[in-house]
Chain A
Amino acid sequence: MNDLAAAKPRAVVDPRALRCEFPIYRHNPGLVFLDSGASAQKPASVIDGVAEFYRRDYANVHRGVYQLSQRSTDAFEEAREATRAFLNAADANEIVFTRGATESINLVAQSWGPAFLKPGDEIIVSDLEHHSNFVPWQMICERMGAHFRVAPTGPDGGFDLAAFEAMLSLRTKMVAVTHVSNVTGAIPPVERIVELAHAKGAKVLVDGCQAIPRMPVDVRALGCDFYVFSGHKAYGPSGIGVLWGRYDLLAAMPPWQTGGGMITLVTPRHTEFQDPPHRFEAGTPDISGAHGLKLALDFVERLGRESIRDHEDELTGYAIDRLSRIAGLTLVPGGQRRLSVLSFNLNGIHPHDVGTVLDQHGVAVRVGHHCAQPLMDKLGVAGTVRVSLGVYNDRGDIDALAAAVETCREMFSR
């Protein structure tokens, strides 16, 4: 960020005013939406912008010589450039569009994995990971004869750097870690993890799904090798996601899916492939989705990521305070640094029952294992109730949640 921008007074996020920009609130009066961690609602700028793109500028990309196709291609590539700028990446050719973070991680696991993993090598993930940053690595380790290791969180729910460091060795080839936990909101010290991993020659992939919509992300400052996220958790459309990778790493990786749009030469004997990012974008991409993602990133930038973080940080603190005063409620610890996501259980009441009661009070939360069964097993619970915040949430939402939780507790103790 340049000095001029840094000198600007930070805008304050005003959730009540912002709700006017989210049509879901107009169509669902009284909605208390606390599940943005699963998928965020969409502002009108994204919904209308995607529709408008189809009306005015749509054609397939990188194919036609006609003007419309060129306009569509320009919009698609502008989305790539906007994503580059959003991540402060060095080169737009380091941005690969995928269907989502899950596909991004599978792409790296299945392309980078077989090319660089040998039997006896190790991959380390944390026990905070979403299944999408867990299972692809477990599978590729099985296939390549590599060892899959899980770094534990400490008793306070934070990433245990010492335990991780003890696990690292020259055999470690990849470390995959979340930027913000989707269960507890814990923020692992990614910069330190990268330093330690790089000192052993390991690469680092960061799952940025929960970080992208709510805090500044600079992949060059983080120092990681791969960064992935999904558009739909960042107020964008579902079906579009991003893989950022260092160009030299992407260039050394073989194609993953093959087909149209990713080749330079095809003969019956031999096929040659494009350079990144097109090498990894076989077939017609999600063109309107990429445009919608750009509009979503514009929306986030308009509010300012520092401002969003301040807003959600304040609200996270309020929620923790409000919920911890409810008798019989246990919060899952999220370490010293956490943001926007928190999980809890009510003594003797299953999360599914809590979820149904809350739903009847118009409060939408996620209940269950949150695609993080290893963490649930460690916590010794079948699941939790998860609250996750967005720019449209305010203290009134947390008060409504707390009131509904109280009702639930009374109902099950009668």
Chain B
Amino acid sequence: MTMDLRELYQDIILDHGRHPRNFRPIERPTHTAKGHNPLCGDRVTLYLMLDGDRIADVSFEGRGCAISTASSSLMTEVLKGKTLAEAEALFAQFHAKVTGGEVHAVPGALEEDAERLEPLTGVKAYPARVKCATLAWHAFEAAVKGGASEPVKTE
């Protein structure tokens, strides 16, 4: 395998791709949304349980490639227990890192979580795969904004 590929498919990504965490529905979620990547047919359903503005639980179901599944899985891990504002800051930085935008530091308390997402930022070198990594985050955003009735599509 080439070094580039090792960079993209790090062990943690292969692990989360094969054994996704929080891969289950939430029975009565406060928010939910579907994400769809029409290019490859990947679909994700995002479930969210908010307690005030704190994420009491977050989970997902669906089918996707290793990148999209691992991204969904890692996202649910880091988002659990966060406030919506913290989630927004994490997404903003992650999005900037994978799309090559201007990266702003996250508040100190979130640095460890941002670090957890770091392995996924290898997709930056693969423009056709960026949307795989952002699909779950877009679905999360849509769910927060009021459970979009239409599935969100990747940018």
Contact = CB atoms under 8 A, between A and B. Distances in A.
Interface of A: 348-353, 356-357, 360-361, 367-369, 373, 376, 382-383, 407, 411-412, 414
Interface string B94-134: 00000000000000000000000000000000101100100
Given A356-B8, A411-B1, A376 B41 contact: yes
A414 B5 contact: no
Contact of A360 (B2, B63, B66, B132): B2
Contacts of B1: 407, 411
B40 A352 contact: yes
Contacts of A383: 40-41
B14 to A, nearest CB: 7
11 contacts: A350-B65, A351-B40, A352-B65, A353-B67, A368-B41, A369-B41, A382-B42, A382-B64, A383-B40, A383-B41, A411-B1
B9 interface: yes
B5 A412 contact: no
A407 B9 CA distance: 13
A412 B41 contact: no
A325 B87 CA distance: 47
How big is the B interface, by class?
A: 20 to 34
Contact of B66 (A350, A368, A373, A414): A350
Given A411-B9, A412-B66, A373 B41 contact: yes
B155 interface: no
Contact of A367 (B2, B17, B40, B63): B40
A263 to B, nearest CB: 39
Contacts of B67: 352-353
Nearest to B14: A412
Contacts of A373: 41
Interface in B1-27: 1-2, 4-5, 8-9, 14, 17-18
Given A360-B4, A412-B9, 15 more contacts: A350-B40, A350-B64, A352-B67, A352-B129, A352-B132, A353-B17, A353-B65, A356-B5, A356-B126, A357-B5, A360-B2, A369-B41, A376-B41, A382-B64, A411-B9
B2 A368 contact: no
Contacts, number: 54
A414 B14 contact: yes
Contacts of B39: 368
Contact of A368 (B9, B18, B40, B126): B40
Nearest to B66: A353
A412 B70 CA distance: 13
Interface string B56-99: 00000001111100000000000000000000000000000000
Given A350-B65, A411-B1, A369 B8 contact: no
A385 to B, nearest CB: 11
Nearest to B13: A353
A353 B132 CA distance: 10
B48 to A, nearest CB: 24
A411 B42 CA distance: 22
Task: Give me the 9 closest cross-chain CB pairs, A-B, nearest first.
Answer: A350-B65, A352-B65, A382-B41, A368-B40, A369-B41, A353-B66, A353-B65, A352-B40, A360-B5
Contacts of A407: 1
A414 B5 CA distance: 14
A368 B128 CA distance: 12
A350 B64 CA distance: 7
A348 B64 CA distance: 11
Contacts of B40: 350-352, 367-369, 382-383
Contacts of A368: 39-41
A410 to B, nearest CB: 8
Nearest to A354: B65
Contacts of A356: 5, 8, 126, 128-129
Contacts of A411: 1, 5, 9
A186 B146 CA distance: 45
Contacts of B43: 382
A408 B44 CA distance: 24
Contacts of A353: 9, 17, 65-67
Contacts of B17: 353
A383 B40 CA distance: 7
A32 B42 CA distance: 27
Nearest to A350: B65
A215 to B, nearest CB: 30
Contacts of A369: 40-41
A382 to B, nearest CB: 4
A367 B42 CA distance: 12
B72 to A, nearest CB: 13
A153 to B, nearest CB: 19
B63 A382 contact: yes
A384 to B, nearest CB: 10
Contacts of B9: 353, 357, 411-412
A368 B42 CA distance: 9
B126 to A, nearest CB: 6
Nearest to A373: B41
A41 B96 CA distance: 35
